[in-house]
Amino acid sequence: MISSILLLGGIGFLAALILGISAVTFAVKMDPREKAVLDQLPGANCGACGFAGCAAFAHEITVNPEAEMACPAVNEEALEAMSGILGRSLGGSAPLIACIRCKGAPAETTNRYGYVGPKDCRAAQIVAGGSKGCQYGCLGLGTCEEVCPFGAIIMGEDGLPRVIESLCTGCGKCVSVCPRGIIQLIPKTGNYCVGCISKDTAKDMKPLCKVGCIKCGICADVCPFDAITVSKTTSAEIDQDKCQRCGLCVSACPTGVISALRVPQKVRIIAEKCKGCSICEQVCPAEAISGKVKEPYFVNEGKCIGCGLCIAKCPSDAIERIIS
């Protein structure tokens, strides 16, 4: 009994001694900043920075003072922390978010044939160019969901992928695997996305998909900021730099192919500041503002579409968004 305790304890002590000595003797010298930077990185090893993982990139950005912030997935807070650790300002690009540019769920679209084979959109694409009737539409096998390192894409019950805004870091991994180029990265501040990239004319597209862009051009007409372009053979494209997120296109689109990433916030008028100039009433496209001149105006919340045109035009800063 005693001898076995002594024997095993002795072996344990000896091993600990060897390990302890070798840990000191063979220690790899690592810049402590590197560890701190690594802690700030997302740790998903998605590879979007072009390096072999977060550790490799942390090393690069620590030892190379010229290295720029290549991680698209890092958030504002971490960026600031890393700038502090490294003692230099890391630029970083504007945060992006993925949007799915196809609304053609299986229920709305036709199939050319039944696909049997590996559950990977890229593998399905090489079989006669994919089974979906529309050659631009989502194949729905969920390769984007599979590769997303942040769990930010889930395949919805309708058979289309959905991006979870709060989790998406804009790393672009999904964009690189989608064989049909349906996923697009837009600035996180953007709110509207056209759910169709079909280059077919409306006549060719309509038999294949009930919900695609029919290139009618109404969205481009109603857009007060000239942010939308559309032609007979290109679906509507929103220029995110010009878009002011008024959302008029969403309500005007006859097929409902333009969607909002988040519900627009409605507005209210601060009665104390309002001078009753009536400009807001004139610019409101939804006829949601009414009132008497020289008295405070008020917003009918039921009608307000949250376009924010009134906020931009109000000379007395009397309109604000309702924070819910």
Partner 1 sequence: MKTFKGGIHPPEEKQLVKDNPIVDFPLSSRYHVLVQQHLGAPAKPVVKAGDEVKKGQVLSEPLGFVSVPVHAPTSGRVKEIGRIVHPVTGLLAPCIVIDADGRDEWAEGLPLERDPFAMSREELLDAIKTAGVVGMGGATFPTHVKLSPPKDKTIDTFIVNGAECEPYLSSDHRLMLEQPERVLKGAGVIMKALGLDRATIAIEANKPDAIKLMREKAPAEIQVETLKVKYPQGAEKQLINALTGREVPSGGLPMDVGAVVQNAGTCAAVWDACARGIPLIERITSVTGRGIVQPKNIRVRVGTLLREVIDFCGGLNGAAKIIFGGPMMGIAQFTQDIAIMKGTSGVLVLREEDTNITAYSACISCGRCVEACPMELIPSVLSKLGEKGMYQKAMENNLLDCVECGSCTYVCPANRPIVHFVKHLKALSRAASAKK
DSSP H or E segment with residue 228: strand 228-231
How far apart CA 53 and CA 252 sit, in angstroms, is: 45
Q: Return the number of the residue (30 or 127) whose C-beta is nearest partner 1.
A: 127
Whether 217 and 121 have beta carbons less than 8 Å apart is answered as: no
Q: Return the number of the residue (2 or 116) whose C-beta is nearest partner 1.
A: 116
Q: Which stretch binds partner 1 (CB under 8 A): 50-58, 126-134, 248-256, 303-311?
A: 126-134
How far apart CA 268 and CA 253 sit, in angstroms, is: 26
Residue 52 touches partner 1, criterion: CB under 8 A: no
Selected from 135, 244, 251, 265, the binder of partner 1 by CB under 8 A is: 135
Residue 112 touches partner 1, criterion: CB under 8 A: yes
Q: How do strand 289-290 and strand 298-299 relate by DSSP bridges?
A: antiparallel
Residue 113 touches partner 1, criterion: CB under 8 A: yes
Residue with tokens 């000379």: 315
**What's the closest the beta carbon of residue 126 comes to partner 1, in angstroms?**
5
Residue 259 touches partner 1, criterion: CB under 8 A: no
> Taking CA 223 as the corner, what is the angle to CA 218 and CA 184, rounded to the nearest 5 degrees?
90
What totals of helices (H) and strands (E) does the chain contain, helices first? 12, 12
Selected from 32, 84, 118, 181, the binder of partner 1 by CB under 8 A is: 118
With CB under 8 A as the rule, give the number of residues binding partner 1: 14
Q: Return the number of the residue (112 or 268) whose C-beta is nearest partner 1.
A: 112
How far apart CA 49 and CA 33 sit, in angstroms, is: 19
Q: Return the number of the residue (177 or 279) whose C-beta is nearest partner 1.
A: 177
**Amino acid at residue number 262:** R
How far apart CA 3 and CA 20 sit, in angstroms, is: 25
Residue 129 touches partner 1, criterion: CB under 8 A: yes
- Site track for partner 1 across 54-93, x = CB under 8 A: ----------------------------------------
Interface with partner 1 (CB under 8 A): 112-113, 116-118, 120, 122-123, 125-129, 135
